Structure formats: C-alpha cells, structure tokens
C-alpha cells in the first residue's frame, strides 16, 4: 500500500509538472500579445519543437543518462552530454527563430535593425530556463523514485530478516521446552508413578500446540492460556505436596492475540528454580487483560542451593529478543528478586 501510494504521488506530481510546462512557453517565448500566440508560425514552431525535444530529453535523462552514467559516478561524461543537449536545443531554437517567415518579413521591413546574434539567443532567459527546469525536474523525480525503490527494498529486507530471526527464536524455544518436559515425565517413570501415562497424554497436547501453532506470528490468547494450563497440569502430576501452584486468569476477550510460546519460558524457570522437596514453596501465575493491556505475573520462591544448569536463561533471552522485535516500545518487562521471591512482571499492549 505504501509503495503504491508513492507511485501515485509521483504520477500526480509528473502530470502537474507537464501541465505547467505546457503553459511556460506562453510566458517566455516572444509573440504578439494583441493576437493569439498560435497565429504566429514562429511561435508554433518554437512551441512544438520545445515540447517534443524537452519531453524526449526528460525521459532520456531519467531513463538512460542517470541510471547508466550518473548512478555509476560517470559525472564528467554525464555533464558533457547535458551541455551538448542544451547547446543542440538552443541552436535549433535559434535557427527556427532566424529562418521563420515572420522573422524574414520583419527584417525586410526593418532593414536598419540588426538581426539577433546567436549568442544573444543562446543566453536568452526563456529557452534556457525551460531546458534547466526540465533537467531539474527530470533528475529530482528520478532520484526520488530510486529513493522510494531503495526504501522499499530496505524495508523488505528488514522484514525478511525479522521474520527469519523470529522463526529461529521460536525454533530454539520449542526444543528447549520439550526437553525440560520430557525430563519431568522421565522422573515419573523412574518411580513407576501411575501418573506417567496421563502425563504422556498431556505432553502430546503440548507437542501438538508447539508444532502447529508456534509457527504463527500471533495466536488467540485463549489458546495460549489452554497451553499454559496443560503445562501446569503436567507439572502438578510430578509435584509433591510441598509445591503450591496458583493459576489465576481474568476474563479474556476471544479476539485478543499474543505471540505463541511467549510466556512459557518464565513459567518454566519458576518450576526449575522454585521447587523444593524439603520446604514449602509456591508458584503463582496470573494473567489479566485490562485497558488493552495484558498483564502477566509469574512469581516463585527462591530455593537456596539449587545449581544453575548449563544453558539456563536461553528461553528468557529469546523472549526478550522477541519482545523487542514484535513490540518495540509497547511493552514493559520487570524481572526482580528480593532474596525470598523471584518475580516477573510483563505488560503488553494488545495488538
């Protein structure tokens, strides 16, 4: 749409230029003001020649000279050709004026008046101004056109780079999440826990979501919340009675959308580092939408003496980068800890 608008603007400006250009000879070419300009054969010849020559020069300059010479920094050759074309235009203009029937008749009736010198015609304001204004507008319009094209290409490349980077980030999140979930089920199977089969079923739902929906740029928030709920249920299966899980969700509009797998890394970290088999711990997840803003809170107790495994923080780093790419300044992320609680507070402007 933006590219189309720039082309429409360029066409509009070009039409306005040519409309004004067709009127300029009446201001700068001499003719009898007591009669119509087109009653003068000399003026008509000047007018037709100028329109044809300068229109041809306009497109020759913009379509050939600028792309093939000026664009490759052949400035001297470009300048010389422009000067030659100007000289040719003024020469023909001079010859038309000198050998026109009106000029010959005028000189026959005014023998004592010297004819106009070529250089006087060459440096006359009218034809020189027309040539220069045609040259200027031709050059400027071509440069602007190339700038628009360059901007479109730049924007397209940027968009493709962002899409590629987002796709890469999503592909990094999925294996990271599934690896941690499989570890949870593995711990159940080691103890021959009957909950293992139920956990496998819940994992299948989670895998289906990650495989099918995670490739979309945005998904309905309701689907993302269902995914989070499945994850929490899976964690409840393996959690002991010392872990208290609180999940609060406010009323959600079905039209609200969110990038897939955006919140889950924070919740994963809460379970990795906020669960203890020796002491009571609590993990709280709260999601609400108000005034076109999604508010996400994930809070967990800090359990001492839990070692940080290799690769920790990959999911969080990816989420931060995705937020920068997708939301720019339309989000606020605050991660804090006070010695007892680790808290993540995320606010998003709804798209």
d(CA 163, CA 226): 26
The pLDDT of residue 62 is above 50: yes
What residues make up the domain containing 198?
193-349
**pLDDT above 70: residue 66:** yes
| pLDDT value for 72 | 82
Give, as one character, the DSSP assignment of residue 263.
Answer: S
Three-state secondary structure call for residue 287: strand
Query: 333 lies in a domain?
Result: yes
Same domain, 253 and 150: no
Compute the average pLDDT of residues 330-337. Answer: 92
Q: What is the pLDDT of residue 177?
A: 57
Q: Is the pTM of this model over 0.85?
A: no
Average pLDDT along the chain: 78
Q: Are residues 22 and 149 in the same domain?
A: yes
- In which residue are the tokens 């008509």 written? 44
pLDDT on residue 310: 44
Q: State the pLDDT at residue 311.
A: 43
pLDDT of residue 28: 63
Q: Is pLDDT of 178 > 80?
A: no
pLDDT at res. 98 = 78
pLDDT band at 313 (very low <50, low <70, confident <90, very high): low
Does residue 257 share a domain with residue 131? no
| Residue 336 and residue 202 share a domain | yes
- The answer to whether residue 180 is domain-embedded is no
Q: What is the pLDDT of residues 191-241, one digit of tens each?
A: 777 777 777 888 888 778 777 766 777 889 999 999 899 889 888 877 778
Q: Are 223 and 344 members of one domain?
A: yes
Q: Is the same domain home to 116 and 222?
A: no
Distance in angstroms between the alpha carbons of the first and the last residue of the chain = 20
33 conformational bin, left if phi > 0, alpha if psi -120 to 50, beta if neither: alpha
Q: How many domains does the chain have?
A: 2
Average pLDDT of span 257-284:
87
- Residues 197, 146 share a domain: no
């Amino acid at each position: 749409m933006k590219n189309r608008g720039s082309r429409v603007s360029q066409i509009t400006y070009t039409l306005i230029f040519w409309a004004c250009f067709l009127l300029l000879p009446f201001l700068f070419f001499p003719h009898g003001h007591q009669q119509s300009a087109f009653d003068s054969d000399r003026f008509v010849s000047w007018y037709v020649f100028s329109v044809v020559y300068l229109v041809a020069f306009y497109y020759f300059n913009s379509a050939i000279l600028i792309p093939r010479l000026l664009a490759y920094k052949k400035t001297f050759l470009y300048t010389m050709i422009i000067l030659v074309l100007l000289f040719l235009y003024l020469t023909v203009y001079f010859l038309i004026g000198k050998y026109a029937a009106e000029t010959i008749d005028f000189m026959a009736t005014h023998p004592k008046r010297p004819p106009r010198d070529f250089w006087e015609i060459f440096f006359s304001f009218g034809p020189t101004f027309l040539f220069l204004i045609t040259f200027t507008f031709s050059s400027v319009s071509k440069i602007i056109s190339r700038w628009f094209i360059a901007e479109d290409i730049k924007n397209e490349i940027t968009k493709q780079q962002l899409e590629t980077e987002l796709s890469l980030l999503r592909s990094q999140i999925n294996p990271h999440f599934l690896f941690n979930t499989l570890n949870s089920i593995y711990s159940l199977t080691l103890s021959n826990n009957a909950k293992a089969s139920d956990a496998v079923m819940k994992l299948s739902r989670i895998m289906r979501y990650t495989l099918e929906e995670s490739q979309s740029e945005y998904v309905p928030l309701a689907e993302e919340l269902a995914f989070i709920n499945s994850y929490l249920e899976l964690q409840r299966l393996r959690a002991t009675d010392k872990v208290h899980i609180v999940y609060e969700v406010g009323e959600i509009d079905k039209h609200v959308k969110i990038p897939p797998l955006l919140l889950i890394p924070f919740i994963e970290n809460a379970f990795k580092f906020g669960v203890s088999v020796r002491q009571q711990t609590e993990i709280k997840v709260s999601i609400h939408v108000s005034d076109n803003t999604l508010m996400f809170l994930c809070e967990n107790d800090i359990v001492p003496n839990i070692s940080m495994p290799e690769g920790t923080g990959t999911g969080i780093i990816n989420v931060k980068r995705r937020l920068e790419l997708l939301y720019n300044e339309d989000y606020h992320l605050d991660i804090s800890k006070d010695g007892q609680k680790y808290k993540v507070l995320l606010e998003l402007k709804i798209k």
